[in-house]
Amino acid sequence: MNTEKEVEHDYGSSISFLASIQQMCALFGGFAFSGITIVITLGDPSTLLAQIILFIMFMSMGMFMGAVYELHNVKTLVCLDSPKQIIPIYPTRWRRINIYMSIGGWAIQFSINLMFLLRNLIPLFILSIGITLFWFVWGYLRGWKPVEEELRRKGILR
């Protein structure tokens, strides 16, 4: 005789937990973006130390923003796994929202790359562009594409 109770998965609590981590990562990403802007506009970014700091802040912002998007993917998968429908089925609207999120992510990341050009930080610009392109392609293929396929399978996306 099994005395253990079968525990139901609490989807709402899971989503709330993931959202709190996502907000924290977005906040830290915003701090990194602000720090980059301050160092580029107020400081002397031509020194080696300033460029190392800028690169570290650039990578930090990229990591935090990547975590925001990955947590979005995980929340989407949790919602899809729920026995109750959580995600509303509006295929054309979700397509638009995903396009806006993608363009917004690209715009934020590339604005940092272009800020490096403002101060003639060519090596930092080239390095950051390469890393940005790699992370966007890798993030799409490894992170978003499987989620998108699952959304299509469930009829939420066309």
Residues 136-152 as b/e (b if ≥16 CB within 10 A, e otherwise) read beebeeebbeebbebbe
pLDDT (tens digit, 9 = 90+) per residue, 109-153? Answer: 899 999 999 889 999 999 999 999 998 898 888 888 888 888 888
Angle at 26 between CA 140 and CA 92, to 5 degrees: 50
pTM (predicted TM-score)? 0.80
Q: CA-to-CA distance for 48 and 129, rounded, in angstroms?
A: 19
pLDDT digits (tens, 9 = 90+) for 33-72: 999 999 998 888 989 999 999 999 999 999 999 999 889 8
What phi-psi label fits residue 153: left (phi over 0), alpha (psi between -120 and 50 degrees) or beta?
Answer: alpha
Specify whether the CB–CB gap between 8 and 83 falls below 8 A. no
